[in-house]
Structure 1
Amino acid sequence: MSDPKNRAYIPRIADAELDRALRRSGAVLIEGPRAVGKTETASQAAHSEVHVDQDDRVAGLASIDPLLILEGATPRLIDEWQLVPSLWNAVRRSVDDRQDVGQYILTGSTAPGADASRHTGAGRIARLRMHTMTLAEAGASTSDVSLGEVLGGEPPRASDPGMSFKGLTDRLVIGGWPAFQKLATGDVSLNLADYLETIAMVDLRTVDGIDRDPARVSRLLKSLARSVATEVTLTTLAKDEMTLSRDTVRDYVAALERVFVIENQPAWSAHLRSSATLRKEPKRHFADPSLAAAALQAMPEALQKDPAFTGQLFESLVIHELRAYGAPLRASVSHARDSAGREIDAIVTLPDGTWSGFEVKLGTAAGIIDGAAAGLLAFAEQVEQQPSSLTVITSAGPSYRRGDGVNVVAIASLGL
């Protein structure tokens, strides 16, 4: 915003999204993982605040008259509202009574449950998903290449942004956590290990009242980390963890999704010209690839010696960036693999149905890029609706359009 309350505040992609949502809805729910910056972003737009996790009086007052908690200058921020679930219906009723937009901002690190007594808030409460910081928000991308323009068919053009392989592995370990950007890499890794321990010991026990074994949660997190950016099945995860059944793994994964620690990349659905069929298994990602690195205690030096796992983390980083930059466009990010083995790492689809395909390659050698471009073209040829663009995302190098029409874009050149 032009005159932020907190001069140390780092502008976020979500700022403009929040402003738009407040202009069209009575309330806005900002969801996302802990420590992603939801409260700070909401505070820039709020004119009054109540922090449910810090004010012991809120729960008692809510049981008597929850509307008293909502009194204050609008937009009014209700931080960590899910600790007093009755506030959801109170906000919904208040929006109905006031018949005005921009009344409340709710923030939470747990997705609203499927409690039948709670109204969905449809038509009253807009939802905004907040991600960890992108490379651009963290100052690690030049933003010379606009994702929106690439999706619109414009050719990219940018020089090498200068991110080294060591710099990339540092970013994969540090991630996009606002509070950790100025810390040493080792300290960030320890903080994220503590973060995951809190998830295992506290958050998954409180998300829905079901008692889950912290040791098993931790082992499952490690299994998910080893399989990050792959189509690992629940059965395989159960075998890897060794003590949980497939159905219990499904429950644990669903709980991790509710606290925004992991986020599936769904399989794409489209009409193919060939007799091949698209597979339906999602790819597994953490909210930030740094969590996968932390779960396995992988430091930059180890990643530099393990290009296979680093490639998985890099693909997860690219998916993170595509989701965040695509959010203002209301884009969805999926993946595709058919029964003949053809695949695309990411498919970004706009609300009008137009789509663009992306292949992710850690290496930058000409042969690697040639192979990725050929794979994109071969997959696109069998889809009835042709893509707006096809792009190979690399870890370094210039951004340009090849003679065959396929773009090449370095991740540290990508932006809104």
Structure 2
Amino acid sequence: MATSYLPRIVDAEIADYLGEGGALLLEGARACGKSATGRRHAKSMVQLDRDPQSLRLADVEPALLLEGAKPRFIDEWQLAPILWNLVRHAVDDDPDAAFLLAGSAVPADDATRHSGAGRIVRMRMRPMSLAESGDSTADVSLASLFAGASVSGGSNATVEELARVTARGGWPALIGASPQRIATLLSSYLDDVARVDIPRLAGEPERNPDGVLRTLRSLGRVVATEASIASIARDSSPDAPLAAETAAAYLAALQRVFVIEEQPSWGPHLRSRDRVRKAPKHHFTDPSLAVAAVGGNAERLMADLAFFGQAFESLVVRDLRIYAQPLGAEVRHYRDSAGREVDAIIERRDGTWIACEVKLASSHEEIAAAGLRRFVDALDPARTPPPAAMVIITGGTYAYTRPDGIHVVPIGALGP
């Protein structure tokens, strides 16, 4: 298993921001690597989840927890929410002071919504992408696709290898672990989410851990789809399904601990009157959690290619989110009432965008290309600019640009 630090794409963003002083909030799921990354950028630190004395100090003299060489790293800050205002005031008093806060849960009433504006910047950290874990050659950068470049290169990952990294996920502690250990730890992770993480959420009413686990299993089966909350609730148990309101509350709690992350819809201007559907797609923060939720592993993915296709799409969306973040871009999806759909729309703040179709099997390339062309042809060019690129992301080997200008890029060749 990996013991040394594996550089993260978010490292450059953190260094750039802290270099000018101020405070940065690093948010993400437990075990995605926030603590190790925070230590890399800090000259002093306090870890509230590992030091009971620091939590006691937060009750009697919390300002002492801010003392130390800067940048000062405060891990799991949400365990002592009073620190938020103290950090804000410290930055007001000394603009050169630098603080890095990390948290794996959103505190009650979301204290960050009110008092940190203009002083504390949020930054999302996710489990590792394939480029970060060394499972992608990164021959094709997302930035180059926005620049309109042709692509070349390739992936060293076979379909069997993609099944393995999908089931393993991007968790730093699981790099190099055996399949048996991976299955055990991820199952335990989901159990801890239901029995420990959600009950620890401040302001959250008591939740039934078994109900949360049933919701996680149901969500695993519909990963990368637009399944309704009502259908997720019905699927939670054939004998005693959850109420839709209960399932919605569980999903909201799972978002607060960064275990799930919805993929919102994208709304372009169309020539036609077809209605754009607004339902988000459901994803876990890492596809391995979807696999674990249904009791799967790499072998079972290879035996069930339909579900593997769903998990593979979720893997691609995870990596696209990581690669898009430094570009100031968001990852959305598109579907309309006429049946046109695009698996991922990556849009930057300046309005430039890329359309991506995801196909595990390279043999589906022509279907994907036809769908992308049909979607772009339906746009109103007077109101929506053409995409910077159209891309088919596959589980194949070679990256190339087709004669029609559409790029084919294996996920094992994609990078930031």
Q: TM-score, normalised by structure 1?
A: 0.95
Of 219, 227, 240 in structure 1, the residue corresponding to residue 235 of structure 2 is: 240
- Identity value in percent: 47
- The amino acid of 1:226's aligned partner reads R
- How far residue 53 of structure 1 moved from its aligned partner, in angstroms, is 1.2
Partner of 1:143: 138
- How far residue 95 of structure 1 moved from its aligned partner, in angstroms, is 1.1
- How far residue 7 of structure 1 moved from its aligned partner, in angstroms, is 8.9
Question: Quick one: distance in 2 between partners of 1:406 and 1:71?
Answer: 54
Question: Quick one: distance in 1 between partners of 2:134 and 2:391?
Answer: 23
Contact 1:70 / 1:91 at 8 angstroms: preserved in 2? Answer: yes
Partner of 1:205: 199
Of 138, 144, 157 in structure 2, the residue corresponding to residue 163 of structure 1 is: 157
Contact 2:133 / 2:170 at 8 angstroms: preserved in 1? Answer: yes
Partner of 1:349: 347
Question: Quick one: distance in 2 between partners of 1:306 and 1:274?
Answer: 37
- How far residue 115 of structure 1 moved from its aligned partner, in angstroms, is 4.8
Q: TM-score, normalised by structure 2?
A: 0.95
- The amino acid of 1:362's aligned partner reads L
Question: Quick one: distance in 2 between partners of 1:33 and 1:64?
Answer: 29
**Structure 1 ranges of 4+ moved more than 4 A:** 115-118
Matches within 5 A, 1:193-272: 193-208=187-202, 209-241=204-236, 242-272=240-270
Contact 2:85 / 2:115 at 8 angstroms: preserved in 1? Answer: no
Matches within 5 A, 1:266-415: 266-365=264-363, 368-384=364-380, 385=384, 386-415=386-415
Question: Quick one: distance in 2 between partners of 1:78 and 1:392?
Answer: 41
Question: Quick one: distance in 1 between partners of 2:112 and 2:42?
Answer: 29
SS in 2 for 1:206: coil
- The amino acid of 1:272's aligned partner reads L
Contact 2:137 / 2:414 at 8 angstroms: preserved in 1? Answer: yes
- How far residue 323 of structure 1 moved from its aligned partner, in angstroms, is 0.3
Question: Quick one: distance in 1 between partners of 2:112 and 2:377?
Answer: 48
Of 74, 80, 86 in structure 1, the residue corresponding to residue 76 of structure 2 is: 80
Question: Quick one: distance in 1 between partners of 2:172 and 2:277?
Answer: 36
Q: How many residues align?
A: 407
SS in 2 for 1:89: helix
Alignment gaps of 5+ in structure 1: 1-5
- How far residue 122 of structure 1 moved from its aligned partner, in angstroms, is 1.0
Partner of 1:11: 7
State whether structure 2 residue 46 is matched by structure 1 residue 50. yes
Contact 1:89 / 1:118 at 8 angstroms: preserved in 2? Answer: no
Cα 1:212–1:328 change in 2 (3 A) is same
- How far residue 60 of structure 1 moved from its aligned partner, in angstroms, is 2.8
Contact 2:131 / 2:415 at 8 angstroms: preserved in 1? Answer: yes
Matches within 5 A, 1:39-118: 39-101=35-97, 103-115=98-110
- How far residue 57 of structure 1 moved from its aligned partner, in angstroms, is 2.2
Question: Quick one: distance in 2 between partners of 1:347 and 1:204?
Answer: 31
Alignment gaps of 5+ in structure 2: none
Contact 1:238 / 1:246 at 8 angstroms: preserved in 2? Answer: yes
Contact 1:266 / 1:334 at 8 angstroms: preserved in 2? Answer: yes
SS in 2 for 1:137: helix
